[in-house]
Amino acid sequence: MIATKRVRLIGAAMLAAAVIGGVSACSGSGGGSGSGSSAGGTYTFWDPYPQFDASADWTKLVEQCGTKAGVTVKRTGYDTSDLTNKALLAGQQGSSPDLLLVDNPVVSTLAEAGILTTTSENKLDTSDIQKNILAAGELDGKTYGVPIGANTLALYYNKAVLSAAGVDVASIKDWNSLTDALAKVKAAGKKGITFSAIGTEEGSFQFLPWFWGSGADLKKLDSDKAVQALSLWTDWVKQGYAPNSVINNTQTTSWQEFATGDFAFGENGTWQLGNVKKAGIDYGILNIPGIDGGSAPAPTGGEFMTIPVQKDTARYATSKKIADCLTSTESFVKTDTTLSYIAPTTAAQKEQVAANPELAPWVDAVAAAKGRTSDNLGTKYPKISQQLWGAVQNALSGSQSPADALKAAQSAAAAATK
């Protein structure tokens, strides 16, 4: 029997409200819990994709994987935050679904609550998964699932705007060269860069590449390196290289600004590839640079396939068969194309790029990415993130200097994570 830690469930449920996916949003629908014997019968599967109905390719794939395993799969899609709360409640009541697909920052919340089995217990194979993507599902040295794919952030750039400003994108290697490019763009009468700095997880999600790209650590928000990162954003706004609207921008509204065609750069993700084509912009993709060069680690978005704790442990074998089917190379390519994700294995990535060469720079971006709960932060991450986005807001609004904003944030984060 797999041990559980039910006593932490109530605290985990409260924490879950703060864990908001930085890359996607969904709306909810009905649910169910595991039923039937371990041999045959019905297996329940919850995911954060309520936008997919019975006719969707994703739903059909899930059903096909159930059929291959000799069972019927009852799939239910929920809004991301709703799914977390329902999973916590179901775990408390001993009625978890057989399979659970959750946003990667939520894995540590559910794991700490004792709801999930580890991959050493359920035998899910993680050997081919990129380590940086897998790290988002790790806590205290144990892995709790298999990522079905990942997305992350990079800089979309408008070739026409850069050309008019006399900027060669190949010259942009680090923060200084990027800032120089923004100055030239402004001098040419165009707009520099837009991003999301809103006071939610989206704001932290978009700031993290710059925070990590400075060499800063989430365990010390007020380091000199962290101050450099926040000063970069603050100075861009002061200089007019970024608009004042960034403080209220979501990733969607930030994208809408870039889609006007007036901006040289827009920080956003793989999920905007379809929209940039609709906008008719002659675009390119640039990995977000680190302070002194190279690619900055951007945060990974995406979901993990997990197997929750069951009273009838004999069910795990069939759940594993279903999960193995859904995380095969063939399924990765089908699923990740549908979701605008980059597959978590080299083999599947090669197939994706062969089918769509425009994904090549995103494969590189994902390779440099990092899980938000990595560094064994686990359930501490949402508490730290809340203070981080607050510091960004305070600095960009001018109510505090970057140093003072981060000092206050570190003090609050330390108190919240004791």
pLDDT in tens, 371-394: 999 988 999 999 999 999 999 999
**Residue 142 and residue 80 in one domain:** yes
pLDDT in tens, 191-222: 999 999 999 999 999 999 999 999 999 999 99
Average predicted confidence (pLDDT) for the chain: 90
The answer on pLDDT for 33 being more than 60 is no
Strands (E), 185-242: 191-194
Tell me if 114 sits within 8 A of 45, measured CB to CB: no
Q: What is the pLDDT of residue 4?
A: 32
Q: What is the pLDDT of residue 375?
A: 87
For the chain, percent of residues with pLDDT exceeding 70: 91
Range 288-298 average pLDDT: 97
Residue environment code for 354-369, b if the CB has 16+ CB neighbours within 10 A, otherwise e: eeeeebebbeebbbbb
Q: For residue 362, give the 3-state DSSP assignment.
A: helix
**Residue 35 and residue 68 in one domain:** yes
The CA distance from 37 to 184, in Å, is 67
- pLDDT confidence tier of residue 39, bands split at 50, 70 and 90: low
What number of other Cβ atoms are within 10 A of residue 7's Cβ? 9
Strands 99-103 vs 42-47: parallel, antiparallel or unpaired: parallel
Strands (E), 24-66: 42-47
Is 1 contained in some domain?
no
CA distances from 23 to 65, 96, 144, 295 (A): 27, 26, 21, 20
Q: What is the pLDDT of residue 3?
A: 35
Q: Is the pTM here over 0.75, yes or no?
A: yes
Residue 123 buriedness (CB in 10 A; 0-12 / 13-18 / 19+): middle
Tell me if 197 sits within 8 A of 209, measured CB to CB: no
Is 203 contained in some domain?
yes
**Residue 18 and residue 100 in one domain:** yes
The answer on pLDDT for 53 being more than 70 is yes
- pLDDT confidence tier of residue 32, bands split at 50, 70 and 90: very low
The answer on pLDDT for 12 being more than 60 is no
Strands 138-139 vs 263-269: parallel, antiparallel or unpaired: unpaired
**Residue 117 and residue 189 in one domain:** no
| Token pair listed for 336 | 């990740």
**Residue 188 and residue 260 in one domain:** yes
Angle between helices 224-239 and 201-213 (to 10 degrees): 110
**Residue 69 and residue 95 in one domain:** yes
The CA distance from 72 to 40, in Å, is 8
DSSP for 280-346, please give it.
Answer: T--EEEEPPBPTTSSBPPPBPB-EEEE-B--SSGGGHHHHHHHHHHHTSHHHHHHHHHHHT-B-SSH
The answer on pLDDT for 9 being more than 50 is no
Range 388-412 average pLDDT: 98
- pLDDT confidence tier of residue 264, bands split at 50, 70 and 90: very high
Q: What is the pLDDT of residue 24?
A: 40
Domain count, the chain: 2
Segments forming the whole domain that contains residue 141: 6-151+301-367
The answer on pLDDT for 114 being more than 90 is yes
CA distances from 131 to 48, 146, 389 (A): 24, 11, 27
Q: What is the pLDDT of residue 130?
A: 96
**Residue 345 and residue 383 in one domain:** no
Q: What is the pLDDT of residue 31?
A: 38
**Residue 266 and residue 202 in one domain:** yes
pLDDT in tens, 305-345: 999 999 999 999 999 999 999 999 999 998 888 888 999 99
